[in-house]
Amino acid sequence: MHHEQSRRSRLVLADTPNAVALARLHAADVLAGWGVAAEVVETARLLVSELATNAVRHSEDGEEPAPPYSSQSDVRTFELALEAVPGAIRLSVWDRDVRPPVLKEVGVDATGGRGIFIVAALSRAWGYYPARSATGKVVWAEIALASTGPGEDHDAMTSSSGQPATDGCQMFEDARVEPNLIGRVLVGIREL
């Protein structure tokens, strides 16, 4: 077995309209290079897309924007981190907004507000914590590498003790969502 645990990638992106597409491309490229299965890469692309969109939106409405050429015109950035952890790929996105992500029950016809709903549906576990060395928060999600087949429940992948895997982090395991609603939401996304 090679040292999957040491595999890590970080990418800092400016909050620009193409940032989400760049984050998605970067994630697909890195994970394919690590030999990750195609369906896991596809799930990662979707999750990165949602997490990055969330980060860009938050940084836009989090505080008053500085005028483009002012003395404080440091470009607002967010950071995407990919990490191979035992049995999973962990995606993390840091943004400057301290407000926690909100899991909203959204209607099938809703055009927005699905981001965290999708993250909860597609990851084996997800959560967020305040950024340690900067303002803002980190939202993370893990995708299991060994897929447990569509009919099986993936509770086996998560600890049944209810203990969070990471100390001090808020962790959400398997928000129980109606499976056919997830299916309809995902079909809606693919049709966009």
Beta-strand (E) ranges in 121-167? 125-130, 137-144
pLDDT for residue 47? 96
Tokens representing 74? 């440091």
pLDDT for residue 57? 77
pLDDT for residue 25? 97
pLDDT along the chain (192 residues), means of 10: 68 92 97 96 96 81 51 75 97 93 60 72 94 92 75 41 46 48 53 50
| Contact residues for 131 (Cβ-Cβ < 8 A; gap 6+) | 94, 137, 138
3-state secondary structure (DSSP) of residue 88: strand
What is the helix (H) or strand (E) element at residue 192, kind and residue range?
none
pTM for this predicted structure: 0.66
